[in-house]
Amino acid sequence: MPPATTRKEGGSKRVVEHHKRSTSSFPHPLSFAYLATFLGAWCFAPVIPLIAAASSFRSYSASRMGIMDHLPATVLLGYYSYRFLNPGRLWEPALRMYGRAMHSPNGACYFKSQKIVLTEPVVPDSATMLCVHPHGALCLGWTVMNSCQCLGAIQAGVQYLVAPLLFNIPIIADLLSWFGTGPAVPGHMKKQMAKGKNLAILPGGFNSAALFTHGKYRCFVRKRVGFIKYCLQFGYNVRPVFCFGEEKTYWTSNVLEGFRMKLAERNIPPVFFLSKFGCLPFDDLDMTVVVGEPIKMPKIEKPSKEDVAKWHAVYVKALEDLFESNKAEYASEDAVLELQ
């Protein structure tokens, strides 16, 4: 992975890490292969368990089988039993391989340009929560942020939290476990926050994914207050993050949006998307992740609804300001942020 680059940009703003693709015609093969594996598994996840179950049933129901016929199934059972008992165990070689896949040593990457912009670095174990918007169809800005050196799990101690549903999907569950990713559930979040660990979440979740529209900046955040309550309970620093370029990653359909929002409330990802690469995103775009300044939350053991509402409004205002102050440079002056 190339070294992080730090340079001034617009006064106190600085680009912490900036990668440009060496060729403009096609994504780097390594990053293309990585995303093809990850997103392909996500898109065809319902088929994988069915095939595995059918194959297993067929093999175990066949007669005259020796021990070697059972060996593959036994190895898989042992592996998944271990992973079940050791969820989210960080495997640093896998994380480094992931970083190289998204940002190869020669400076090539999947998107035309990928960079992280912030004014204040993320310090390990600084009780910081990075709140990333928008979710998009498949969280590509989130993926870029996770793979960059300056905010990677090893360098800044940031644990990325995702929907627990993903830990039930073959291949994706393995990748998430190897990278030390955790489930975005209250019990796990509180356990990490009690230790002052840095976390990264997607507050909009599947609701924000259901709102995703090509070329528009849409975030589901006005009804998302739970993360603010937890940040108040543990006195966390909250940093809004906006991913410019996420809105261009796929073509989308907004058919039955109301119905899909109801599915999202039940943790069913109702996303329809397509690009010239199928389930892989468009590559000819600039993905710029802008990290806002910390909002220091007071520590309130039992925050009232009024406390949560007050600080949630502060957060929403900071997110709006972050978008407005950066849209001319990374989007357009007439870009509009839609918060729902």
| Mean pLDDT (the chain, rounded) | 78
Least confident of 20-24, 234-238, 303-307: 20-24
Closest CA to 137 of 284, 285, 33, 269: 269
Cα gap 246→252, rounded to integer Å: 12
What mean pLDDT do residues 266-291 have?
Answer: 81
Q: Which residues of 21-38 are buried (b: 16+ CB within 10 A; e: fewer)?
A: beeeeebbebbbebbeeb
What tokens appear for 233 in the block? 């309970």
pLDDT computed for residue 6 by the predictor: 46
Residue at 284 is within a domain = yes
Instruction: Please state the pTM of the whole predicted model.
Output: 0.82
Is position 37 within any domain? yes
Tell me whether residue 82 is in a domain: no
Q: What are phi and psi of 160, to 5 degrees?
A: -90, 130
User: What is the number of domains present in the chain?
Assistant: 1
- The answer to whether residue 240 sits within a structural domain is yes
Band (pLDDT 50/70/90 cuts) for residue 251 is confident
Asked if the structure places residue 294 within a domain, the reply is: yes
Domain assignment present for 80: no
Judged against a pLDDT cut of 70, whether residue 121 lies above it is answered with yes
Residue of 311, 211, 228, 215 whose CA lies nearest to 262:
211
| DSSP code string of 203-268 | TTHHHHHHH--TT-EEE--TT--HHHHHHHHHT-EEEEEEEETGGGS-EE--TTHHHHHHHHHTT-
**Is 60 domain-assigned?**
no
Q: Which domain holds residue 139?
A: 8-46+90-339
Owner of token pair 């403009």: 24
Residue 52 lies in a domain: no
Query: How high is the pLDDT of residue 289?
Result: 92
Question: Which has the higher per-residue pLDDT, 208 or 73?
Answer: 208
Task: Give residue 147's Cα distance to chain centre.
Answer: 10
- Which letter does DSSP use for residue 294 in this model? P
Tell me the residue type at 140.
Answer: L
